[in-house]
Amino acid sequence: MHRLNDDAEVDGVLVQLPLPGGLDARAALDALDPAKDVDGFHVTNVGLLWGGGAGLVPCTPFGAMLLLRATLPTLSGLEAVVLGRSAIVGKPMAALLLAADCTVTVAHSRTRDLPSRCRRADILVAAIGKPEMVRGPWIKPGATVIDVGINRIAAAGGKTRLVGDVAYAEAQGIAGAITPGAPAASAP
């Protein structure tokens, strides 16, 4: 890591998580120069994100914010529910939504009465890691739904297919705007 930090030809480093067994992710991230941490996972970048400073932001939440800003006239005052509390998506997504003046609830698989919490959301970001967990009736009519889940499930003929965390077919007619989850691709 130090070699990459010191190399002027290297502008950024992406530490692909999770690391293989036996490697300490926290130690790898701590050893990385925060200015080269393209995923924004270094503790310095996390602190800057939550503190409103200028640092590198994890790409998936950043992309979700770009989608939201392109879809909604304003985010200020909207109620947002983030399903998932990971350091990769859930926590930084909550920080970005708070900075955009949303009222934010972070929920997870053990949240009590999760469907009713979701039904309050003007913005619902699903990053919970459970295939099609969010059902159509959980969606507030007209809500903007961003599904960043990627889950591989069994399909016909011994193949698999990718689905998101939202049951897209159910939610599509209820949401005002919705991203498809993982593409409907098959694999052997």
- Whether domain 59-187 has CATH 3.40.50.720: the reply is yes
Q: What does the pLDDT read at residue 182? A: 53
Domain boundaries, the chain: 2-51, 59-187
Q: Residues 94-151: pLDDT tens digits?
A: 999 999 999 999 999 899 999 999 999 999 999 999 999 999 999 999 999 999 998 9
Cα–Cα distance list, 168 to 90, 145, 160 (Å): 20, 10, 17
Return all residues near 56 (Cβ < 8 A) that are at least 6 apart: 34, 35, 37, 38, 39, 40, 42, 45
pLDDT surpassing 50 at residue 187: no
Q: What does the pLDDT read at residue 186? A: 41
Q: What is the average per-residue pLDDT within 173-182? A: 85
Average pLDDT, the chain: 90
Report pTM. 0.86
Q: Residues 4-46: pLDDT tens digits?
A: 888 899 998 988 888 898 899 889 888 999 989 888 888 888 8
Is residue 113 a contact partner of residue 70, using CB atoms and an 8 Å limit?
A: no
Q: What is the average per-residue pLDDT within 170-183? A: 85
